[in-house]
Amino acid sequence: MTQINKHAKQLLAPIVSNTRVGQYHQIIINIGDIATNCKPGNFVAISVGGGSSSMVLRRAFAISRVSTSTTVGGTMELIVAPHGQGSKWLCAQGEGVVLDLVAPLGTAFGIPTEPVPVLLVGGGYGSAPLFGLAELLNSRGCRVDMLLGASTGSKIYAPMEGKRAVNSMRIYTEDGSMGVAGRVTDPIAEIIKDLNVAVIYSCGPMPMLAAITKITNQFDVIHQCAVEESMACGVGICMTCVLPVENEDGTISNLRSCIDGPVMDGAKVQWSKVGQQI
């Protein structure tokens, strides 16, 4: 493991519960003491498919939140959309199934040293890690406001839970089936000015992250985004998750999302060059 993953451990962890929440699955896993090292923005790499599966690579999932209790100890919550072969397999696993996983991996969100107004922006189920982040920011005295967006209302994850964790929350759907019709990025510039936002934290599709950066570049606002680049190994070996990122000297390097991310400075990511060879 690299220095960034110095707390990561491989372990066999049982599923405590697997609950369907709309289009997604809320999966709670008992991870014991390593829960204390999991921070908002970290992810977990899980071996999927079973012992005879052809899916030899682990699948990366964002950690939604962690908690501890006297009954089950340290647990990790994942919000999973059953889209690909690996995520469908994971969503089909029931209580008591033991998973082979490695956690915590990747960089976490940076927390302000002083209480400042912050805005959380989530797209689809990518918003799930923001709820745990909101709780942490609240405990540090920050004013926390949230925007949730998706193409349609059924893809908004747990809007009522989001409301409990923030000062205010607005929902935007492109088809107008929930909240306000439009894109989640539409009100950001106005909110920055009205609330004097100092930091924007975001999770969601790459085009959404790029659009937020375009807005924050016009203001003196930090944009910390959790990029959604496909990861194969999750530990920096395979080089499949690279993104073009500007260095301090102005040059551009292909950095690994799993090691140098998933949380990155949106202003440094070269969004127009994503997917290109440099």
Locate the domains of the chain by residue range.
3-105, 107-224, 227-278
Torsion from C-alpha of 256, 83, 213, 62, nearest 10 degrees: -60
On the question of a cis peptide bond just before residue 104, with omega within 30 degrees of 0, the verdict is yes
Specify whether the CB–CB gap between 8 and 104 falls below 8 A. yes
Per CATH, the number for 227-278 is 2.10.240
Quote the CA–CA distance of 83 and 89 in Å, as a whole number: 10
Quote the CA–CA distance of 10 and 12 in Å, as a whole number: 7
pTM score, whole prediction: 0.92
Three-class SS state of 217: coil
Q: What is the pLDDT of residue 83?
A: 87
Q: What is the pLDDT of residue 72?
A: 79
Q: What is the pLDDT of residue 99?
A: 97
- The alpha carbon of 77 is separated from its chain's Cα centroid by a whole number of angstroms, namely 12
On the question of a cis peptide bond just before residue 262, with omega within 30 degrees of 0, the verdict is yes
Q: What is the pLDDT of residue 52?
A: 65
Q: Per-residue pLDDT for the chain (278 aa), expressed as one digit of tens each?
A: 446 788 899 999 999 999 998 889 999 999 999 999 999 999 999 999 887 677 778 889 999 999 988 877 899 999 999 988 999 999 999 999 999 999 999 999 999 999 999 999 999 888 888 999 999 999 999 999 999 999 999 999 887 777 777 999 999 999 999 999 999 999 999 999 999 999 999 999 999 999 999 999 999 899 999 998 777 777 778 788 899 999 999 999 999 998 899 999 999 999 988 876 55
Task: Write out the two tokens for 272.
Answer: 């127009």
CATH architecture of the domain covering 107-224:
3-Layer(aba) Sandwich (3.40)
Helix 188-195 / helix 206-216 crossing angle, nearest 10 deg: 40
Specify whether the CB–CB gap between 121 and 147 falls below 8 A. yes
Q: What is the pLDDT of residue 126?
A: 82
Domain 3-105: CATH class, spelled out: mainly beta
Give the amino acid at 129: P
Specify whether the CB–CB gap between 151 and 204 falls below 8 A. no
β-partners of residue 45 are 60, 102
